[in-house]
Structure 1
Protein backbone atom coordinates (compact mmCIF):
# COMPACT_ATOMS: atom_id res chain seq x y z
CA UNK A 1 0.00 0.00 0.00
CA UNK A 2 1.04 3.56 -0.57
CA UNK A 3 2.07 5.76 2.33
CA UNK A 4 0.53 8.82 0.65
CA UNK A 5 -2.36 10.30 2.64
CA UNK A 6 -5.79 9.83 1.13
CA UNK A 7 -7.54 13.12 0.44
CA UNK A 8 -11.05 13.20 1.87
CA UNK A 9 -13.85 13.49 -0.64
CA UNK A 10 -15.61 16.80 -0.88
CA UNK A 11 -18.92 17.14 0.96
CA UNK A 12 -20.72 17.53 -2.39
CA UNK A 13 -19.33 14.21 -3.62
CA UNK A 14 -20.30 12.49 -0.39
CA UNK A 15 -23.78 13.98 -0.57
CA UNK A 16 -24.22 12.84 -4.17
CA UNK A 17 -23.00 9.36 -3.25
CA UNK A 18 -25.41 9.23 -0.30
CA UNK A 19 -28.31 10.34 -2.52
CA UNK A 20 -27.52 7.59 -5.05
CA UNK A 21 -27.35 5.00 -2.29
CA UNK A 22 -30.66 6.15 -0.79
CA UNK A 23 -32.33 6.12 -4.22
CA UNK A 24 -31.11 2.56 -4.80
CA UNK A 25 -32.29 1.51 -1.33
CA UNK A 26 -35.69 3.09 -1.92
CA UNK A 27 -36.05 1.27 -5.25
CA UNK A 28 -35.14 -2.03 -3.56
CA UNK A 29 -37.67 -1.42 -0.77
CA UNK A 30 -40.43 -0.58 -3.25
CA UNK A 31 -39.72 -3.79 -5.16
CA UNK A 32 -39.65 -5.85 -1.95
CA UNK A 33 -42.91 -4.29 -0.80
CA UNK A 34 -44.54 -5.15 -4.12
CA UNK A 35 -43.32 -8.74 -3.84
CA UNK A 36 -44.65 -9.11 -0.31
CA UNK A 37 -48.11 -7.66 -1.01
CA UNK A 38 -50.67 -10.43 -1.34
CA UNK A 39 -52.12 -10.75 -4.83
CA UNK A 40 -55.52 -11.67 -3.38
CA UNK A 41 -56.97 -11.94 0.12
CA UNK A 42 -56.10 -15.18 1.86
CA UNK A 43 -59.00 -17.64 2.27
CA UNK A 44 -59.13 -17.13 6.04
CA UNK A 45 -59.64 -13.40 5.52
CA UNK A 46 -63.28 -12.95 4.65
CA UNK A 47 -65.20 -9.85 3.76
CA UNK A 48 -68.64 -9.10 5.10
CA UNK A 49 -70.81 -6.42 3.49
CA UNK A 50 -67.84 -5.32 1.40
CA UNK A 51 -65.76 -4.52 4.50
CA UNK A 52 -62.62 -6.39 5.46
CA UNK A 53 -63.07 -8.48 8.58
CA UNK A 54 -60.04 -10.59 9.61
CA UNK A 55 -61.99 -11.97 12.59
CA UNK A 56 -64.70 -13.53 10.38
CA UNK A 57 -62.91 -16.87 9.96
CA UNK A 58 -62.02 -17.21 13.63
CA UNK A 59 -64.23 -19.38 15.85
Structure 2
Protein backbone atom coordinates (compact mmCIF):
# COMPACT_ATOMS: atom_id res chain seq x y z
CA UNK A 1 0.00 0.00 0.00
CA UNK A 2 2.12 2.80 -1.30
CA UNK A 3 1.40 6.49 -1.19
CA UNK A 4 1.05 6.55 -4.97
CA UNK A 5 -2.29 4.73 -5.05
CA UNK A 6 -4.46 7.63 -3.82
CA UNK A 7 -2.72 10.01 -6.22
CA UNK A 8 -3.34 7.72 -9.19
CA UNK A 9 -6.95 7.28 -8.19
CA UNK A 10 -7.44 11.05 -7.96
CA UNK A 11 -5.82 11.63 -11.34
CA UNK A 12 -8.06 9.08 -13.05
CA UNK A 13 -11.18 10.71 -11.60
CA UNK A 14 -10.18 14.06 -13.09
CA UNK A 15 -9.54 12.53 -16.50
CA UNK A 16 -12.89 10.74 -16.57
CA UNK A 17 -15.22 13.46 -15.34
CA UNK A 18 -18.83 12.27 -15.06
CA UNK A 19 -20.97 13.06 -18.08
CA UNK A 20 -24.36 14.66 -17.86
CA UNK A 21 -27.39 12.49 -18.47
CA UNK A 22 -28.15 14.43 -21.66
CA UNK A 23 -24.64 13.83 -23.00
CA UNK A 24 -24.88 10.12 -22.19
CA UNK A 25 -28.24 9.89 -23.97
CA UNK A 26 -26.92 11.73 -27.02
CA UNK A 27 -23.96 9.35 -27.25
CA UNK A 28 -26.22 6.32 -26.87
CA UNK A 29 -28.59 7.59 -29.56
CA UNK A 30 -25.67 8.29 -31.90
CA UNK A 31 -24.37 4.75 -31.37
CA UNK A 32 -27.86 3.31 -31.91
CA UNK A 33 -28.27 5.33 -35.09
CA UNK A 34 -24.93 4.04 -36.40
CA UNK A 35 -25.92 0.46 -35.57
CA UNK A 36 -29.28 0.84 -37.29
CA UNK A 37 -27.65 2.37 -40.35
CA UNK A 38 -25.25 -0.57 -40.57
CA UNK A 39 -28.11 -3.03 -40.12
CA UNK A 40 -30.04 -1.28 -42.90
CA UNK A 41 -27.04 -1.47 -45.21
CA UNK A 42 -26.54 -5.16 -44.39
CA UNK A 43 -30.19 -5.97 -45.05
CA UNK A 44 -30.20 -4.08 -48.34
CA UNK A 45 -27.05 -5.90 -49.44
CA UNK A 46 -28.58 -9.23 -48.42
CA UNK A 47 -31.80 -8.47 -50.31
CA UNK A 48 -29.80 -7.53 -53.39
CA UNK A 49 -27.95 -10.87 -53.24
CA UNK A 50 -31.23 -12.77 -52.90
CA UNK A 51 -32.58 -11.23 -56.09
CA UNK A 52 -29.53 -12.21 -58.16
CA UNK A 53 -29.63 -15.89 -57.15
Calculate the TM-score normalised by the size of structure 2: 0.63
RMSD of Structure 2 on Structure 1 (CA): 2.0
Greater gyration radius = 1
Q: Any stretches of 5+ residues in structure 2 without a counterpart?
A: 1-7
Per residue, is there more strand in 1 or in 2?
A: 1
Q: Which runs of 4+ in 1 moved over 3 A?
A: none
Aligned residues: 41
Calculate the TM-score normalised by the size of structure 1: 0.58
Q: Any stretches of 5+ residues in structure 1 without a counterpart?
A: 43-59
